Amino acid sequence: MKIAIIGQSLFGADVYKILRQNGHEIVGVFTVPDDAKGRPDPLASAALQDGTKVFKLKKWRDRNQVLKEVYDQYKELGAELNVLPFCTQFIPMDIIRLPKYQSIIYHPSLLPRHRGASSINWTLIHGDKKAGLSIFWADDGLDTGPILLQKECAVQENDTVDVLYNRFLFPEGIKAIDEAVKLIADTEEPPRIVQAEENATYEPILKKHNCQINFDQPAVAIHNFIRGTDKVPGAWTVLNGEEVTVYGSEIWRRDVPTGREVEVKDSGKPALVHQLGLLLYGNDGQTVNVKQLLLQDGKMIPAAKFGSVDREVTLTELSPEEQKIKASIQEIWKSILNQDLNEDTDFFKAGAGSMDVVRLVEELKDTAGIALHNDDVYMNPTFMSFVTAAILKSRGEGDATFQFNHVKIKANKMDLIVPHELFINNEFVPARSGATTPALCPADESVLCEVSSAQKEDVDIAVRAAKEAFENGDWSRMSHRDRGTLMFRLADLMEQHKEELATLESLDSGAVYTLAIKTHIGMSIETWRYFAGWTDKVHGNTIPLNQARPNRNLSFTKKEPIGVCGLITPWNYPLMMVSWKMAACLAAGNTVVLKPAEVSSLTALKLAELSVHAGFPPGVINVLPGAGRVCGQAIVDHPDVRKIGFTGSTAVGQQIMQSCATNTLKRVSLELGGKSPLVIFSDCDLDKAVRVGLQSVYFNKGENCISAGRLFVEEEIYDQYLRRVVDEVKKMKIGDPLDRSVSHGPQNHRAHLDKLLCYVEQGVKEGARLLYGGKRLDRKGYFMEPTVLVDVEDNMFVAEEESFGPIMVVSKFINGDVEGVTKRANATRYGLAAGVFTKDINKALRMADNFQAGTVFINTYNKTDVAVPFGGFKMSGFGKDLGADAINEYLQTKAVTIEY
């Protein structure tokens, strides 16, 4: 079909491309003149690249008469159909009716509702539950012609014009026009459904003069008005005598927070500036929260900063690579604005519009690989502020607008920026009570900072944020693959910051830096990447049923996320344990309220900071440092938390399970204590058995859930094995965990060190022989000598109970007594891990079959991988971390049956 396209913008350009791609002949394109900077409209650019005739018309008619030269140019093309995508000009009926099939127009509403130029805006302002688009036959009325086809979509509570346009009206509109043209080409009498006048609406075009907020209406109406004008033309009001435009509206369903009151013109109540924005009151006493404000000077700021002193973020020295980024941005700005730049050039004052914002963001992504959002342009409208935002993003520091209270720690030849407040809804906030706990460095007992300590009311706020994100937020509407993209992005940021994370882990938990960077941080990064790859592989099954003739039945299952999940993690691998649980939980589509260990929470808070830079929506990740008996218990008891994932002691695990059963009957997975046996036969590779035996006990200073809690050594090599072990232990260098030559750092905290010393004392008291160590080092910090307790009998306390420290507990077994040593190894209430060293593979596999443990190692130990499920038997708990099994811990199965 021969088609003339009359329209403009990227929408018009994409319509041009799809019609041409599908074999139609575009005989001409009619669009608007170049802008004041000489830039052609995107539709014109697309057509000119193909050599299609382009007409840039300032006007089509004069005194209601079509211009003769325009009519003649148009008629000469011989078009059979006019297609008007995003057409803002009035086209004379002489042109509309001339082609064989006349003209069709795209309109972004479900006609006859919302006729007129601001139809999308009014769809949202009226609070319509559904929106849509119409392709109609042009007539001499204003959007009154017969309907050819329509498509509709649901409107979400917080949709804005941009969101609705980008999610549905733009992509589906292009497809709809293509479908409409096919209908005309392939159908003898394509639909012409006359529009009913009943329920028809026509609203005026929105300009600044009719966009002032009316506060004499319910909060939901105020919210609809604000989102219906976001970003253009923008709803405005007067705060403290200053005219401001407001953006990013949402209904506030939480308790009214503490904050600073601001006078609002024509409102019965003052607004409230608080940590998460600005609250505005409706006449029903309900509130609306806005997140961004445009000031009279053209500067966009977070609403939470209104009236406060702005902290400018400036760049100091740029690397050669960052200089290239700056030059690339300069070229993009020049090409868009068509003018010379200085640091204060304002993107919008220089003539840029909303489509230029999209172009800037996309070109920056293509040329420099930096993914900013449209809001980043509005928040950083001057050239240098935008360069700053882009370079901070490239450094993994996000945009300049994400600011938070932090401490600076200089360590390991680097300056660490350390958040230390609760992380709720993508904001760092102090505990409501003001409570804090000191974060102590176990290497020198110094105070690193004061960390906010969450109480029950903080848990309530965090759970509400997580529930909102799960049920109504971007996370719930996001595709599985988009979730995976965010997780991959977070992993990349963790890798970029791995030296900082490892340093912080060493300072906060006492982990040796070399181990921290390889395992604590390295495996955390691997975990996020592994589960990011799982996000789009969660699916159910189809199930055959016995047929009830003559009908047939089909059943299928769906794997769905559970909802808000509470995660409680230990202090021995602060970041890795968080990652093991949280990555699987988020990959399944849930949201999280995390309580990291009270004594080692800093890397979890740093992870939260990086999640904002990665682009995670508010409420998806919430991190609440605090005491287990207060914060942890409140999470466990909360009725809106539907799953608990816990790693810690068996005693606490039992309390959690009891609470979950008594209060809300929520799902639980528990990874608890261990007393893992390692059996060493005389036919082993002795060098390897000594080396790995040491690692099995002293890895991460023994603060390791699968640490070999008891070694069984065959009588024939018992004395030789002990001699060699002690020789090696004496070579271990104990000291500052940031020293690269140190292999053994301090215990995590004072109470744990004291417990370990009592453990050794109890063992000796019951008859075990202290072969080496057993004392606290005479130096500052929580350092304990690696310890070897031998000749341990089965009835001793140290044979039955876990130390969770650098204490090797060794027992002898009779030569060749495979059955006896297996029985002794299993004679524990725990079942987390077990190991065996022997060159006899048949013996090894028989023992693996008989070990009552969730993980078994043969001729190795401590070898875990993100793809291998991890979890215990018996009183070591149930449920799995890692591997495909972990995803199922955070999913629930729904069965659907259809009869047809």
Q: What is the pLDDT of residues 297-318, one digit of tens each?
A: 878 888 888 887 554 556 667 8
CA nearest neighbour of 503 among 517, 486, 487, 484: 517
457 in catalytic set: no
Is residue 602 within 8 Å of 420, Cβ to Cβ?
yes
C-alpha pair distances (Å), 398 with each of 473, 482, 571: 21, 19, 28
Phi/psi of residue 605, nearest 5 degrees: -70, -35
> Does residue 49 sit in helix, strand or coil?
helix
Find out whether 91 is annotated in a ligand binding site.
yes
Sequential DSSP letters for 96-108: HHSSTT-EEEEES
pLDDT at 359: 84
Is residue 885 within 8 Å of 855, Cβ to Cβ?
no
Is residue 771 within 8 Å of 790, Cβ to Cβ?
yes
Tokens of 262: 């601001």
pLDDT at 316: 64
Find out whether 755 is annotated in a ligand binding site.
yes
Tokens of 788: 């070897």
> Does residue 107 sit in helix, strand or coil?
strand
Q: What is the DSSP letter of 881?
A: B
Which residue shows structure tokens 């005598």?
241
843 alpha-carbon distance from chain centroid? 47
Percentage of residues in the chain having pLDDT higher than 90 = 80
Which residue shows structure tokens 């409501």?
432
660 in catalytic set: no
CA nearest neighbour of 586 among 639, 545, 650, 533: 533
Is the CA virtual torsion 481, 483, 487, 489 positive or negative? positive
Q: Beta strands of 624-680 (E only): which ranges?
A: 641-647, 667-671, 676-680
CA nearest neighbour of 703 among 425, 418, 509: 509
Q: How far apart are CA 823 and CA 207, in angstroms?
A: 83
Find out whether 633 is annotated in a ligand binding site.
yes
Find out whether 646 is annotated in a ligand binding site.
no
Q: How far apart are CA 188 and CA 309, in angstroms?
A: 68
Tokens of 205: 């075009």
Is residue 15 within 8 Å of 176, Cβ to Cβ?
no
**Please, which residues bridge with residue 898 across strands?**
554
- Helix 320-337 to helix 354-368 angle (10° resolution) is 150
Tokens of 1: 């079909």
Domains and CATH numbers, the chain: 2-186 (3.40.50.170), 208-305 (3.10.25.10), 321-395 (1.10.1200.10), 409-671 (3.40.605.10), 677-871 (3.40.309.10)
322 in catalytic set: no
Tokens of 271: 């607004």
Find out whether 147 is annotated in a ligand binding site.
no
Q: How far apart are CA 293 and CA 245, in angstroms?
A: 6
Q: What is the CA radius of gyration of the chain?
A: 33
Is residue 119 within 8 Å of 109, Cβ to Cβ?
yes
Q: Which amino acid is at 344?
A: D
Find out whether 631 is annotated in a ligand binding site.
yes
Catalytic position from the list 24, 80, 87, 107? 107
Q: How far apart are CA 808 and CA 798, in angstroms?
A: 10
Is residue 675 within 8 Å of 801, Cβ to Cβ?
yes
Find out whether 649 is annotated in a ligand binding site.
yes
Say how many residues make up the chain.
Answer: 900
Find out whether 61 is annotated in a ligand binding site.
no
Q: How far apart are CA 285 and CA 283, in angstroms?
A: 5
Note if the bond before 746 is cis, omega within 30 degrees. Answer: no
Find out whether 483 is annotated in a ligand binding site.
no
Find out whether 629 is annotated in a ligand binding site.
yes
pLDDT at 607: 98
pLDDT at 312: 54
Find out whether 376 is annotated in a ligand binding site.
no
| Helix ranges (DSSP H) in 338-473 | 354-368, 374-379, 383-394, 456-471
Q: Are strands 787-790 and 769-772 parallel, antiparallel or unpaired?
A: antiparallel
Neighbours of 585 (CB within 10 A): 27
Q: How far apart are CA 476 and CA 489, in angstroms?
A: 19
Q: Residue ranges of the chain with pLDDT lower than 70?
A: 309-316, 396-401, 548
Is residue 512 within 8 Å of 506, Cβ to Cβ?
yes
Catalytic position from the list 427, 500, 505, 671? 671
Burial grade of 116 (CB within 10 A; 0-12, 13-18, 19 or more):
middle
Tokens of 815: 């030569």
> Does residue 82 sit in helix, strand or coil?
strand
Sheet containing 25-31, strands listed edge to edge, beginning at the edge strand earlier in sequence: 54-56, 25-31, 2-6, 81-84, 103-107, 130-137, 147-154
Q: What is the DSSP letter of 258?
A: P
Rounded to whole angstroms, the maximal C-alpha distance in the chain is 112
- Residues 6+ away with beta carbon under 8 Å from 608: 419, 423, 428, 621, 623
Q: How far apart are CA 253 and CA 46, in angstroms?
A: 47
Find out whether 803 is annotated in a ligand binding site.
yes
Tokens of 675: 């007393």
> Does residue 662 sit in helix, strand or coil?
helix
Tokens of 595: 């309580």
**To the nearest 5 percent, what fractions of the chain are helix, strand and coil?**
40, 25, 40
Is residue 883 within 8 Å of 530, Cβ to Cβ?
no
Note if the bond before 112 is cis, omega within 30 degrees. Answer: yes
- Residues 6+ away with beta carbon under 8 Å from 468: 253, 619
Find out whether 275 is annotated in a ligand binding site.
no
Q: End-to-end CA distance of the chain, in Å?
A: 41
Is residue 892 within 8 Å of 562, Cβ to Cβ?
yes
Phi/psi of residue 344, nearest 5 degrees: -95, 5
> Does residue 218 sit in helix, strand or coil?
coil
pLDDT at 593: 98
Tokens of 582: 């949280």
Neighbours of 541 (CB within 10 A): 11
* Angle subtended at Cα 516 by Cα 497 and Cα 710, rounded to the nearest 5 degrees: 155
Q: How far apart are CA 291 and CA 245, in angstroms?
A: 11
Segment 154-204, tens digit of pLDDT: 999 989 998 899 889 999 999 999 999 999 999 999 999 999 999 899 999
Sheet containing 855-858, strands listed edge to edge, beginning at the edge strand earlier in sequence: 769-772, 787-790, 807-813, 708-714, 676-680, 833-837, 855-858
Neighbours of 580 (CB within 10 A): 27
The pTM of the full predicted model, rounded to 2 decimals, is 0.69
Find out whether 143 is annotated in a ligand binding site.
yes
Is residue 517 within 8 Å of 498, Cβ to Cβ?
yes
